[in-house]
Amino acid sequence: MAGTGAHPLARAEHFIWLTARVLEQRRFAHRFLDGDPDPVETALTAYRNEDGGYAHALEPDLRGPVSQPLHTAHALDVLDSIGRCEGLRVERICRYLSDVSTKEGALPALLPLQRGYPAAPFVPLVDDPPAELLATGPIVGLLHRNEVWHAWLFRATDFCWSAVDALEQSHPYEIEAAIAFLDGAPDRTRAERAADRLGRLVRGQRLAVLDPARRAEYPVAPGYAPGEHHFPHDYARTPGSLARRWFTDEELERSLDHLAAEQREDGGWPVNWRQWAPGTALEGRPLVTLRALETLRSYGRPLG
């Protein structure tokens, strides 16, 4: 058993085996224990529906059997992490995305089919939901980064460009979605210009805590939980992200130091958003732990 004196990775491994879903256990084994990707793909299949979308609390804040874009974005992220974002499975996903898109050709955050099943109170459920960058940007960016070509991408890409160009007042999760799109957008010159503008917005609106020791001085976005701050590493998850340009070396190092220090005694990382159901509290921490480990490793931080 990994104790508190063990290396961060050993402590995290104990936490994952103790608390995580099978999917996160297999993702951890693949990424950090040289495991095969096939078991990850097998575990992900349990969340897939006949319509090509995903459900069953794959994204913990949405419960129930109804396919949703946010679940499907999560599935694509898993496939991307194991190098399987291609082939028939992704073709089926793109058909699903096309079927549930709005008249703009983009994705709403939550389809009204969720009505009757539990969902986080901070994800609005309306009869005619609008297209949102929050749901569309990460999917479009990921598909472009993997060189997936599908008819759905044309209008969805145009929507993302328009949404990014229109951003003047925003919040951290929308900025994360925007940078996820820009990191994969094919027009790299335009993406760099847009990212530089967003960086000025992030700093001007104080959407990133640049000094963790003074985070109490930073505002929390409306509707967010107390203490739900975002840090440079939340935007620049890898050194290759365009968001890396927004922060000095010192700011990023402080952010990564803070991230490393957030590992708890049980080996996992905490969540800082509002927990509204027992399942989300249990399932959220392994997801955050995997993300923290991936971020630290991408910057060359020692994990043991």
pLDDT tens track for 61-84? 999 999 999 999 999 999 999 999
Classify the C-alpha dihedral 280-2-236-148 as positive or negative: negative
Residue 157 in this model has a pLDDT that exceeds 70: yes
Structure tokens that stand for 300 in this block: 């060359």
The CA distance from 105 to 103, in Å, is 5
Count of other CB atoms within 10 angstroms of residue 204: 8
Mean pLDDT score, 77-94: 96
Average pLDDT, the chain: 96
Percent of the chain with pLDDT over 70: 98
Task: For helices 152-166 and 133-145, give the axis angle rounded to 10 degrees.
Answer: 120
User: Could you tell me the pLDDT band of residue 5, with boundaries at 50, 70 and 90?
Assistant: low
Residue 245 in this model has a pLDDT that exceeds 60: yes
Mean pLDDT score, 198-220: 97
Classify the C-alpha dihedral 196-202-204-209 as positive or negative: negative
Exposed (0-12), middle (13-18) or buried (19+): which is 51, by Cβ within 10 Å? middle
User: Could you tell me the pLDDT band of residue 138, with boundaries at 50, 70 and 90?
Assistant: very high
User: Could you tell me the pLDDT band of residue 122, with boundaries at 50, 70 and 90?
Assistant: confident
Higher pLDDT, 289 or 123: 289
